[in-house]
Amino acid sequence: MASLPAPEDRILTVGELTRAIKELLFGAFPGQWVKGEISGFRPHTSGHLYFKLKDASAQLDCAMFKMNAMRLSFAPRDGLEVEAYGEVSVYEPRGNYQLVIKQMRVAGIGALLAQLEELKQRLAAEGLFDPARKKPLPRYPRTVGVVTSPVGAAVRDIVKVLRARWPGIRVVLAPVKVQGEGAAAEIAAALRRFDRWGGADVLIVGRGGGSIEDLWAFNEEPVVRAIAAARTPIISAVGHEVDTTLADLAADARAATPSHAAEIAVRDVAAVRRQVAEAMRRVDARVRGQLERQRHGLEALLKRHGFRRIHDLFDYWQQRMDELRERLETRLRGRLHAARDRLSQLLAAYGLREALPRRIAGARASLEPAPKRLTDLVVARVLDRRRQVISLEQRLLGLSPKEVLKRGYALVKGPDGTFVRSAEALAVGDGVTLEFARGEADATVTTIRKGGSDVAREGRRRRE
């Protein structure tokens, strides 16, 4: 049986029907998330975006107007899979239904990267990654704090390298989850505990390699802020060299791997010992050079004046001072006699027999201490020179190996005539020469007992 047509009073125009469909769709889909691949992307000069979302079975027209498009944190393009939120509506001029998009994000891993980029820009704007706020690492830490998982290769590698480079280092571990739910909160709390404790000189925070999802805890805001706020210097060691997290950007130093972080945290004790030995060698050479220059200066002084002994030099200066003193006294007496004669003549010529003698007596009294002061000055100068000469003589005696031999020591010369510094430089059967304070003696090595310090063995290796 055929259906009857609708009454004529219910006939709708195309626009009315389209609007009715539009209201119906809006009521059924007021807001909806849709996932699909962008196709036919067309940015308009007005700033609006037009494209299609498609999957294997269907496609959907989409429009995103300028105000919403300006808030996108990525650049849409054909082939990019996205998740879009919007209202289903109808474009009345063509009668096509479409999705009017309010928000859009990259789907899957892309969504994580977009979220990471947004957080990175926000924290960078606050200055958390500013190089000026990074703290220097201590040169010789005594305690290293480690924030990582108690199981896995990372903690073993860190402890192994720390103990190998500086055996006496103290390592304190704060065991935490490094991935999954709650990992970021545990890491941030451990960093704050270390900072409150204050017993660690430097902190290492990190884990071994993994996917971006595995490393995500080190991209979360609580961890980044805890690193930036810490007073203790922090080394970040997350994943492998190619992995970079926000924790790496906020830390005071970044290591390519956990093992590399341990190498940055402490110095190599063998290298430090070599540096100390070299510094001691330079200081010893400088002191010896200074003493040698002073010895040469004294020898030149002795030769210049034709003396063979230090005491001869002192006797010379003492005699010279006596001569100068006598000459000075002679001149003073001569001048006094001349002045007295002139005064006598004046007295006789002008009849000044009463006042002038008193003035002469006063002048004589003021001049009487002058010879004694001059003598004291000369003696003090001579004594000062004598002390200097004695000090130089004692230094020269201290440098003389003969003085050491007089105390019962002997110098040992090897078969090649050079001085032997260590028993390891000899072999059984070698002939040696023993030099004493008086005379020498030859001997043959029958037994060798090794010993001594690392410095002695190092000296032997350098000679070899």
- Answer whether residue 419 shows pLDDT above 60: yes
Domain assignment present for residue 448? The answer is yes
Domain shared by 141 and 262, yes or no = yes
Average pLDDT over all residues of the chain: 82
Domain assignment present for residue 112? The answer is no
Domain assignment present for residue 128? The answer is no
The band of 8, judged by pLDDT with boundaries at 50, 70 and 90, is: low
What is the distance between the alpha carbons of residues 234 and 224, in angstroms, rounded to a whole number? 11
Domain shared by 82 and 163, yes or no = no
pLDDT at 400: 65
- Answer whether residue 180 shows pLDDT above 90: no
pLDDT at 322: 77
266-292 pLDDT tens trace: 999 988 889 888 988 888 888 888 888
Domain shared by 257 and 152, yes or no = yes
Domain assignment present for residue 113? The answer is no
Q: Tabulate helix, strand, coil % of the chain (nearest 5).
A: 50, 20, 30
- Give the mean pLDDT of 145-171: 93
- Give the mean pLDDT of 245-253: 95
Domain edge (last residue) among 398, 418, 433:
398
Domain shared by 408 and 386, yes or no = no
Domain shared by 382 and 412, yes or no = no
Domain assignment present for residue 380? The answer is yes
Domain edge (last residue) among 236, 267, 298:
267
The band of 176, judged by pLDDT with boundaries at 50, 70 and 90, is: very high
- Give the mean pLDDT of 366-395: 78
Domain shared by 196 and 244, yes or no = yes
What is the domain extent for residue 142? 134-267
DSSP character at residue 73: S
Domain shared by 138 and 241, yes or no = yes
**Residue 32: alpha-carbon gap to chain centroid:** 55
pTM for this predicted structure: 0.46
- Answer whether residue 22 shows pLDDT above 90: no
Domain shared by 372 and 419, yes or no = no
SS3 (DSSP) at 440: strand
The band of 43, judged by pLDDT with boundaries at 50, 70 and 90, is: very high
pLDDT at 302: 66
Domain shared by 250 and 352, yes or no = no
Domain shared by 377 and 432, yes or no = no
187-215 pLDDT tens trace: 999 999 999 999 999 999 999 888 777 88
Domain edge (last residue) among 107, 123, 147:
107
Domain shared by 141 and 223, yes or no = yes
Domain shared by 95 and 160, yes or no = no
How many domains, in total, are found in the chain?
4
- Answer whether residue 348 shows pLDDT above 70: no
CATH number at residue 39: 2.40.50.140
Nearest to 243 by CA among 204, 265, 210, 221: 210
What is the distance between the alpha carbons of residues 70 and 63, in angstroms, rounded to a whole number? 13
